[in-house]
């Protein structure tokens, strides 16, 4: 089963927006989405669409702050906890639903996503400010998660391979944990929100999903998809709100069996504290899966292909305005090629155009005013810590939006704030290294360990980088963003999270618990233990 399913899985191919027909179809989908701006959207709890008891809030188009994507419900604490109760009620039967049947729901959902692909892209362009390719890559990854996790659930249903011993028949199976909470980010509002829900669900758990208040529309679309495929009520619950109290109530509840979180280091550490504290009425240790930030470096050695490195640095640093936990916010260059590479990167950065995402500019807006304030404050710090080579200010555009120029700083010290702290915006800092030793040392000098890139044409240096560069995802001679499901399982070391490896063979195990069973044969017992599985 394991070899067959992995061989069957293929990553969804991105759409080619250089094709006039595809480009026109995406533009049409965007116009149709825009015609639906301003509507009110409900939450989805226990199979019903419901209003929030605390009012509504608005989702704003970051490309044009005069435009309202829609209004969304503010859940009360009581509503959120009722969703958790519904999830536990659904778990009583869902946990015993055969793995193949659970997987079929995900495969049907993948078909729906494929049918609605242009529409989903359009909402991402509108609500998250992604250009067409970035949006489509997000949607494609969502499809990949659904299919890959469906295959993995069927594989794991066979249990862990063990041997019989001393006359005993032995088997180890995987049991789901129960009902949990998924808190997802705004920067991959479809793929990550969908993957963080689909993985525990297909493993037999039930979920209360709370997406970021910056991108609730994509969560609403996911709820529509799960409803369309007939997922039993209470298995997936969609709760929205800006109020911090709702997320706090869900994660601290003694009924929350697991917490799945993707977001900032500060909030992730708070989640770790919550998961580690047993409260009254809690009868288990909460499982925590978290993916946090990064201060990712692209290392360029003396023998690297400089033109290739320059192209990939710009893509890795400024794709989706640097709003990726994997973005290349440090560029560490061996001194013999430092000036040449810096010149090429600056040249490529200065020609990047910034504008409305619906018009498919290479760079669109950052997500909100809070992000603008943070990024611009770091740019001001950078002006004191380094030499400003490109960008450094708000971009001049026609629309009122959150536009910042892609920014390059040179001659930054390895311990400078802009070289150590996550900015989460279109900023990269050039750091000079003496040699390979120095470059790898600097690359490993932050508290994070998510992604990294290394450029060289020397096989011995590459082998050394593969061994010594301490990150969860390391790329040789390519940009440090763009992990593919099933090919490059994603997650990082140290303060970058639990390294759970989304899109990899270990991921579903975070939402399962193994149970070892032994049967000693008896003349009055007619049972074949090896045929037993949790869902039969």
Domains of the chain: 2-292+497-514 (3.40.605.10), 296-476 (3.40.309.10)
Write out pLDDT tens, residues 82-141: 999 999 999 999 999 999 999 999 999 999 999 999 999 999 999 999 999 999 999 999
Query: What's the confidence (pLDDT) of residue 8?
Result: 80
How far apart (Å, rounded) are the C-alpha atoms in residues 349 and 35? 34
Give the CA distances from residue 499 to residues 241, 373, 450, in Å, rounded to whole numbers and listed in that order.
Answer: 28, 30, 8
Write out pLDDT tens, residues 397-411: 989 999 999 999 999
Burial class (CB in 10 A: 0-12, 13-18, 19+), 186: buried
Write out pLDDT tens, residues 314-353: 999 999 999 999 999 999 999 999 999 999 999 999 999 9
Of 127, 152, 312, 325, the active-site residue reads: 325
- Annotation says 290 is catalytic: no
Average pLDDT over residues 221-246: 96
- Annotation says 273 is catalytic: no
Of 127, 291, 312, 405, the active-site residue reads: 291
Write out pLDDT tens, residues 31-62: 999 999 999 999 999 999 999 999 999 999 99
CA 381 to chain centre: 28
Break the chain down into helix, strand, coil percent, rounded to 5.
40, 20, 40
DSSP 46: T
Grade residue 243 by pLDDT with cuts at 50, 70 and 90.
confident
Average pLDDT over residues 497-511: 96
Average pLDDT over residues 435-462: 98
Query: What's the confidence (pLDDT) of residue 4?
Result: 46
Query: What's the confidence (pLDDT) of residue 360?
Result: 98
- Residue that wins the pLDDT comparison between 167 and 375: 375
pTM of the model: 0.96
pLDDT at residue 436 greater than cutoff 90: yes
pLDDT at residue 151 greater than cutoff 50: yes
How far apart (Å, rounded) are the C-alpha atoms in residues 288 and 263? 13
């Amino acid at each position: 089963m394991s070899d067959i399913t992995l061989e069957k899985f293929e990553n969804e191919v991105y759409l080619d927006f250089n094709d006039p027909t595809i480009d026109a179809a995406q533009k049409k989908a965007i116009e149709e989405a825009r015609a639906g701006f301003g509507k009110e959207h409900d939450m989805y709890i226990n199979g019903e669409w419901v209003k929030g008891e605390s009012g509504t809030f608005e989702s704003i188009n970051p490309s044009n702050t005069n435009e309202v994507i829609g209004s969304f419900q503010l859940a009360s604490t009581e509503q959120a906890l009722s969703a958790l109760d519904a999830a536990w009620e659904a778990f009583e039967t869902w946990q015993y639903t055969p793995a193949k049947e659970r997987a079929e729901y995900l495969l049907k959902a993948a078909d729906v996503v494929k049918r609605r692909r242009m529409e989903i892209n359009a909402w991402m362009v509108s609500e998250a400010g992604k250009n067409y390719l970035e949006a489509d890559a997000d949607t494609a990854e969502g499809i990949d998660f659904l299919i890959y996790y469906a295959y993995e659930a069927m594989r794991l249903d066979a249990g862990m391979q063990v041997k019989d011993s001393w006359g005993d028949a032995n088997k180890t199976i995987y049991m789901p944990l129960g009902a949990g909470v998924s808190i997802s980010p705004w920067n991959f509002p479809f793929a990550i929100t969908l993957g963080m829900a689909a993985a525990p669900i297909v493993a037999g758990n039930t979920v209360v999903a709370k997406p970021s208040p910056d991108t609730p529309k994509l969560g609403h679309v996911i709820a529509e998809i799960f409803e369309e495929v007939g997922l039993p009520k209470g298995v997936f619950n969609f709760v929205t709100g800006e109020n911090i109290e709702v997320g706090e109530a869900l994660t601290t509840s003694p009924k929350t069996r697991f917490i799945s979180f993707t977001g900032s280091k500060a909030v992730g550490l708070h989640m770790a504290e919550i998961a580690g504290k047993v409260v009254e009425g809690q009868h288990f240790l909460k499982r925590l899966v978290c993916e946090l930030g990064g201060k990712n470096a692209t290392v360029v050695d003396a023998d690297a292909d400089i033109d290739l490195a320059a192209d990939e640095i710009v893509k890795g640093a400024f794709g989706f305005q640097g709003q990726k936990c994997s973005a290349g916010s440090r560029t560490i260059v061996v001194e013999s090629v430092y000036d040449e590479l810096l010149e090429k990167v600056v040249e490529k950065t200065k020609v990047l155009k910034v504008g409305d995402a619906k018009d498919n500019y290479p760079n669109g807006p950052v997500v909100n005013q809070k992000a603008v304030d943070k990024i611009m404050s770091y740019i001001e710090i950078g002006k004191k810590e380094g030499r400003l080579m490109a960008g450094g200010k708000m971009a001049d555009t026609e629309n009122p939006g959150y536009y910042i120029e892609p920014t390059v700083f040179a001659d930054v010290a390895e311990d400078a704030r802009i070289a150590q702290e996550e900015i989460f915006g279109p900023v990269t800092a050039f750091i000079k290294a003496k040699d390979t030793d120095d470059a790898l040392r600097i690359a490993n000098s932050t508290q994070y360990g998510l992604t990294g890139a290394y450029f060289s044409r020397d096989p011995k240096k590459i082998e050394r980088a593969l061994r010594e560069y301490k990150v969860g995802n390391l790329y040789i001679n390519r940009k440090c963003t763009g992990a593919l499901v099933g090919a490059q399982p994603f997650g990082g070391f140290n303060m970058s999270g639990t390294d759970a490896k989304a899109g990899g063979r270990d991921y579903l195990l975070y939402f399962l618990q193994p149970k070892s069973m032994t049967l000693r044969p008896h003349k009055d017992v007619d049972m074949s233990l090896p045929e037993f599985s949790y869902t039969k």
